[in-house]
Amino acid sequence: MADQLALDEVVEFTSGLIRIDTTNRGDGDCRERPAAEYAAAQLSGAGLEPLLLERTPGRTNVVARIAGTDPSADALLVHGHLDVVPAEAADWSVHPFSGEVRDGVVWGRGAVDMKNMDAMILAVVRSWARQGVRPRRDLVIAFTADEEASAEDGSGFLAGRHPELFEGCTEGISESGAFTFHDGSGREIYPIAAGERGTGWLRLTARGTAGHGSRVNTENAVTRLAAAVTRIGEHRWPLRITPTVRAALDELATLYGIEAGATDVDTLLEKLGPAARLVEATVRNSANPTVLEAGYKVNVIPGEAVAQVDGRYLPGTEAEFAATLDELTGPDVRWEFAHREVALEAPVDVPVFARMRAAVEEFAPEAHVVPYCMPGGTDAKQFSRLGITGYGFSPLRLPAGFDYHALFHGVDERVPVDALHFGVRVLDRFLRTA
């Protein structure tokens, strides 16, 4: 079991990593190297030999391997990203890069996404070094750059240019799973991610005839774009239930005493109450308009207008997603993928999932572990190109009223110290037995 020093170090490392500003605005100005050097130093202190790898100067990744006791076993990838989304200090109760520990809580950008998991990994590895522990299978530890943008400088670079570092890896774990979801009626649900919707960030371009704002113009690019954006925003996507989502619905239905096969999905979601939040975003594809760009003067009709749309699609539905966009945009608006990544599906009836479940239940006997599909995406998409099946497993035991999902990219991001301690214990248990 993780020692007391590991419990102290996970708090220290979470705070220390938060204090290193690795803001990724998506325009290439991020610099993860100081955080990578911090992580590498902790790995070196555990007797490992981490590699620091860059595609672009300053956009640094860290990779290290821990040899397992069973050379015939497949390797396991354990990865976390070092970059974070921007934070406006004026909006926060504490400075977002202070890493302040106050009233048993660590505050700052990255506290849940995902420097907490990075710190857990470091704390567990160092605890093993002190105790002389080795895992059953090889572990490849990776801390990546650029996850909050395209991943081109991070997991994409590692998978494309350094696949040899991940030799033997068949499965991987990373963010967004095994956290406490309180349903409001006393149940504590721990969703473990076994799938991700695909990423389809879209650029829409409408062209028309430029002219004077006082003139009649039936070929107004802004009007054409606005109509297409409205159609997209108001579209009701059809139900598409993947195996992971079906498994989640079945387990939740059993938990709540509902006959899953006797009702339609929308009715089932209504009966699940607050627990429906775990699956309602992944029973359909989605496309949300997020950015509009047009014009430069009120009395000038521009010849072009542009919009950006955040699209997400379930496994097996990419062709349908594209065909639907063709219909919704219409003949006067052209659309293209600005960024595109695959949807993922991972099996839940396999030993690695059972071991994750067992590790959570050992330290949270009251837990109801269920699989779920992430509505967004992670570095698991890039590592899937190497044949690595990805799961979301960054365990946290959270108190009632702690809105985990709202803190992802939100104001006053924070994580309880007790949650970090729980995470270290569960991660230690799982990685020893995985």
Q: Looking at residues 83-89, what average pLDDT do you find?
A: 97
Same domain, 161 and 53: yes
Closest CA to 395 of 369, 417, 427, 432: 427
Task: Give SS3 for 292.
Answer: strand
In a domain, 209, yes or no: no
Closest CA to 24 of 114, 159, 106: 114
In a domain, 305, yes or no: yes
In a domain, 347, yes or no: no
In a domain, 207, yes or no: no
Closest CA to 76 of 132, 142, 128, 129: 142
Indicate which residue of 9, 83, 345, 413 is catalytic.
83
Is residue 48 scored above 70 in pLDDT?
yes
Query: Which residues are 416's β-sheet partners?
Result: 105
Query: What is the reported pLDDT for 403?
Result: 87
d(CA 65, CA 49): 8
Average pLDDT, the chain: 96
Query: What is the reported pLDDT for 406?
Result: 86
In a domain, 147, yes or no: yes
Same domain, 9 and 105: yes
User: Which residue is it, tokens 């911090």?
Assistant: 38
User: Which residues are CB-neighbours of 52 under 8 A, at least 6 positions away?
Assistant: 33, 36, 37, 40, 60, 61, 62
Same domain, 160 and 226: no
Query: What is the reported pLDDT for 2?
Result: 85
Indicate which residue of 113, 138, 146, 147 is catalytic.
147
d(CA 79, CA 275): 28
Would you say the C-alpha torsion 401, 407, 413, 418 has a positive or negative sign?
Answer: positive
Q: Looking at residues 73-95, what average pLDDT do you find?
A: 97
Same domain, 35 and 151: yes
Number of separate domains in the chain: 2
Q: Looking at residues 33-43, what average pLDDT do you find?
A: 98
**pLDDT tens digit string along 184-237?**
999 999 999 999 999 999 999 999 999 999 999 999 999 999 999 999 999 999
**Domain enclosing residue 66, as ranges:** 4-176+378-433
147 assigned to active site = yes
Query: Which residues are 62's β-sheet partners?
Result: 52, 143
In a domain, 361, yes or no: no
User: 427 pLDDT band (50/70/90 cuts)?
Assistant: very high
Same domain, 128 and 252: no
User: 365 pLDDT band (50/70/90 cuts)?
Assistant: very high
Query: What is the reported pLDDT for 232?
Result: 98
Would you say the C-alpha torsion 356, 360, 365, 370 has a positive or negative sign?
Answer: negative
User: 262 pLDDT band (50/70/90 cuts)?
Assistant: low
In a domain, 61, yes or no: yes
Closest CA to 384 of 123, 53, 158, 130: 158
Query: Which residues are 105's β-sheet partners?
Result: 102, 416
Same domain, 271 and 405: no
Same domain, 332 and 389: no
Same domain, 142 and 227: no
In a domain, 307, yes or no: yes
Same domain, 165 and 303: no
Query: What is the reported pLDDT for 138?
Result: 98
Structure tokens at 169: 């890896």
Same domain, 167 and 73: yes
Q: The domain that contains 397 carries what CATH number?
A: 3.40.630.10
**pLDDT tens digit string along 300-339?**
999 999 999 999 999 999 999 999 999 999 999 999 999 9
23 touches 85 (CB < 8 A): yes
Q: Indicate the Cα dihedral angle 418, 421, 425, 428, nearest 10°.
A: 150
Closest CA to 188 of 178, 202, 176: 178
294 touches 302 (CB < 8 A): yes
Query: What is the reported pLDDT for 261?
Result: 65
Same domain, 22 and 126: yes
Which domain-ending residue is among 341, 363, 391?
341
Is residue 260 scored above 90 in pLDDT?
no
Q: Amino acid letter at 350?
A: V
Is residue 62 scored above 80 in pLDDT?
yes
Q: Amino acid letter at 274?
A: P
Is residue 263 scored above 90 in pLDDT?
no
Same domain, 58 and 121: yes
Q: Indicate the Cα dihedral angle 364, 81, 148, 76, nearest 10°.
A: -70
Which domain-ending residue is among 341, 365, 397?
341
Which domain-ending residue is among 293, 326, 341?
341
